């Protein structure tokens, strides 16, 4: 079997076109969606991520407010800025780019963002909403993975899904979203003694580890859907995921590439969450 490659760029383009249409409709009603992006410090990778997020907003007709601060910014000043954005009706989503300088407590910062503007879905309240099946905001990367799985046409109902990784931002919310879609879910981690035992039984595997070649073809059930969240570098310095693409594509039915799979979906789902936040605010304002 040669796996069908799930094209994250194409799906992302399609979803962004929908975001653009929804944003235009809101703007026409006087409720242009607005995302505030905060960057503290000079981390070059963070600067690139933030630039991409701001550009994506502008391309889809969202208002973007970009606050760039020196690494010496105090925690109190950052919290005060978040409080102002929480109260600003033109802003529907607030994103603070991680990592923050060491003197700032990132947990405190995330919890300071109003839950109805937490479009990254990282706060404890957003995590609780996801766990309870309430309509909050889903963390963007696992939400994007769900869209990628959905795009294959394979129903998750009654399927066995194995998530490799249990981080608060990817693995755990991924498992909850799969559970919500009626899959039977197994979560593996660094303490799982025989990873292959679990993955070989899986109809769907989501790898979110951060170590290349974690999943190889001999660990995959024929016909499985495989989603590769990992971002790593190979010996030649090229981007690669957690999945050995060559061997897994011989066994899986569908597989995401790296780059061009999960990566483009993460920013797209941030836009989707922001438009959703703006639609909820507009409905309340117009009621």
Min separation Cβ 214 and ligand NAP, Å: 6
Q: Are 148 and 8 in contact (CB under 8 A)?
A: yes
The crossing angle, in degrees rounded to 10, of helices 140-151 and 8-28 is 110
Min separation Cβ 167 and ligand NAP, Å: 3
For the chain, give the DSSP string: --PEEP-HHHHHHHHHHHHHHHHHHHHHTT---EEEEEEES--HHHHHHHHHHHHHHHHTT-EEEEEEE-TT--HHHHHHHHHHHHH-TT--EEEEPSPPPTTS-HHHHHHHS-GGG-TT--SHHHHHHHHHT-S----HHHHHHHHHHHHTT---TT-EEEEE---TTTHHHHHHHHHHTT-EEEEE-TT-S-HHHHHTT-SEEEE-SS-TTSB-GGGS-TT-EEEE---EE-TTS-EE-SB-HHHHTTT-SEE--SSSSHHHHHHHHHHHHHHHHHHHHHHHHH-
Min separation Cβ 53 and ligand NAP, Å: 12
Shorter beta-carbon distance to ligand NAP: residue 61 or 137: 137
* 138 annotated as a binding-site residue: no
Structure token digits, residue 176: 């909850």
Shorter beta-carbon distance to ligand NAP: residue 183 or 229: 229
Residue from 4, 14, 43, 97 carrying the catalytic annotation: 97
Min separation Cβ 90 and ligand NAP, Å: 27
* 166 annotated as a binding-site residue: yes
Task: List residues near ligand NAP by CB under 6 A.
Answer: 141, 164-167, 169-171, 188-192, 195, 208-211, 229-232, 262-263, 266
Q: Are 98 and 50 in contact (CB under 8 A)?
A: no
Shorter beta-carbon distance to ligand NAP: residue 208 or 275: 208
Residue from 118, 120, 203, 244 carrying the catalytic annotation: 120
Residue from 53, 117, 147, 221 carrying the catalytic annotation: 53
Min separation Cβ 206 and ligand NAP, Å: 10
Shorter beta-carbon distance to ligand NAP: residue 61 or 263: 263
* 164 annotated as a binding-site residue: no
CA 108, 45, 143, 209: dihedral to nearest 10 degrees? -90
The answer to whether residue 120 is catalytic is yes
Shorter beta-carbon distance to ligand NAP: residue 141 or 253: 141
* 165 annotated as a binding-site residue: yes
Shorter beta-carbon distance to ligand NAP: residue 85 or 204: 204
Min separation Cβ 70 and ligand NAP, Å: 26
Residue stretches of the annotated binding site for NADP(+): 165-167, 231
Residue stretches of the annotated binding site: 165-167, 231
Residues labelled catalytic:
53, 97, 120
């Amino acid at each position: 079997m040669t796996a069908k490659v799930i094209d994250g760029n194409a799906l992302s383009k399609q979803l962004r076109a929908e975001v653009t249409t929804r944003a235009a409709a809101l703007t026409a009603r006087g409720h242009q969606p607005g995302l505030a992006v905060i960057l503290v410090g000079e981390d070059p990778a963070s600067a690139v991520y933030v630039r991409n997020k701001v550009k994506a907003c502008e391309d889809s007709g969202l208002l973007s407010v970009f606050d760039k601060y020196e690494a010496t910014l105090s925690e109190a000043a950052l919290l005060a800025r978040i409080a102002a954005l929480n109260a600003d009706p033109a802003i529907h989503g607030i994103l603070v780019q991680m990592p923050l300088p060491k003197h700032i407590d990132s947990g405190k910062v995330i919890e300071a963002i109003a839950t109805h503007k937490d479009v990254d879905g990282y706060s404890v309240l957003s995590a609780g909403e996801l766990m309870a099946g309430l309509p909050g905001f889903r963390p963007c990367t696992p939400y994007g993975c769900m869209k990628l799985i959905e795009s294959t046409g394979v129903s998750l109902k009654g399927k066995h899904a194995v998530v490799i990784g249990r981080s608060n931002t990817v693995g755990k919310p991924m498992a909850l979203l799969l559970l919500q879609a009626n899959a039977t879910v197994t979560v593996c981690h660094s303490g799982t003694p025989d990873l292959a035992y679990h993955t070989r039984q899986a109809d769907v595997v989501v790898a979110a580890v951060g170590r290349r070649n974690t999943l190889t073809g001999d660990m995959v059930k024929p016909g499985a859907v495989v989603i590769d969240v990992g971002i790593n570098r190979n010996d030649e310095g090229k981007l690669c995921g957690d999945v050995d693409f060559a061997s897994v594509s011989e066994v899986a039915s569908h597989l995401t590439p790296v780059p061009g799979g999960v990566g483009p979906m993460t920013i797209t789902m941030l836009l989707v969450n922001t438009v959703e936040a703006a639609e909820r605010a507009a409905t309340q304002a117009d009621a």
